[in-house]
Amino acid sequence: MARARRQSPLALFLAVAALLALALHVALAQKPGACTGACYGVSHDPAVIRRANDGTLFRFSTGGNINVATAPAIQGPWTLRGNALKQGSKINLPGHGADLWAPDVIGPLADGFYYMLYSTSVFGKQISAIGVARSRTLDAGSWEDLGSTGVESRQGAAFNAIDGNFVQDASGKWRMTFGSFWNDLFQTDMASVTKAKQPFRPTNIAFDPNGTRPVEGGFVYKHRDEYFLFFSHGVCCRLDQARPKAGDEYKIKVCKSKNVNGPFIDQQGRLCTQGGGTVLLASHDNVYAPGGQGVFSDAKSGGHILYYHYADKKRGITDGDKTFGWNVLDWHNGWPTVRSA
């Protein structure tokens, strides 16, 4: 009787590596969910929230002093409604233009208001600040600008004060995650939802010591008893002017911790402050440079929803070509995975 041939250790290793590579490709190549209406060109750094009183979905994005779109469902149809802060911000920093970036929206809180963080900055500079506004309805034009949160930076600081994200700790106290390049992501205590605690002593929660330290857009999301730090890694912008080598463009990574302020580790146990980060979603097919992400829990949309922007290579990869993307998140062995919608 013929005996089965025993595979060499090298052959077994190569077979396992091939299976892992296939699994990784499948995990990273999930198509975004359908999107109709105002999805293309008006979705940079989106923030999505459902209005409590009538169930309308609102999407806030970089552009036009935070453009506002609404839809009955995550798939759309999305309709542009105007601007959150048409007159811009009362924060007055030298060299700043009229536009505001990277909104993050929460609420309604006990006082009946929704609150929105926004960034004012100059691309590639550290002269930056994170402001806050409030509204009782979320509607375009209804937002009252409250000015700076006290999270600001100047040239030579350890961080760049943009990309603010609200998160509550286990006791219900508010914290803010923020940062972009330089020493990457930080987190600070808030004295209230509108002001950072003083003295201002932020904690570094993610840092990539390699290259240009391309980490930004931190978003902390609690799932069960763990906190997940989602962040964008790589080159986000001006992709048409200086296209990065494959793999250096934007992608979404994740680390997790038992504590809201870390230490965060990736799926291989690497510290997020030492270059760690598990890739959750990267370029694939016509989806290029996904990032600027957030997560919200919404039963009507299918559960835990990862939303983001990306460039559709069929349409273009300029900064004005960003398209709204979303996927449902599944959880396997304590980690999120992206599912096709």
Q: Active-site residue numbers?
A: 45, 216
Q: Which residue has the tokens 């499948």?
A: 26
- 283 close to 249: Cβ distance less than 8 angstroms: yes
What phi, psi does 85 have (nearest 5°)? -130, 75
- 262 close to 186: Cβ distance less than 8 angstroms: no
In the chain, the N- to C-terminal Cα span, in Å, equals 50
Q: Which residue has the tokens 């919608």?
A: 341
- 257 close to 233: Cβ distance less than 8 angstroms: no
According to DSSP, residue 196 is labeled B
Look up residue 217 and give its amino acid.
G
Own/partner long-range contacts of 165-170 (Cβ < 8 Å, ≥24 apart)? 165/104, 165/117, 165/218, 165/219, 165/220, 165/294, 166/104, 166/106, 166/115, 166/117, 166/193, 167/220, 167/221, 167/222, 167/227, 167/260, 168/222, 168/260, 169/260, 169/261, 170/260
Tell me the residue ranges of DSSP E strands in the chain. 44-50, 57-62, 67-71, 79-83, 101-106, 114-120, 128-135, 144-153, 165-168, 174-178, 185-189, 203-206, 215-223, 226-233, 251-257, 278-281, 287-298, 303-312, 322-332, 335-339
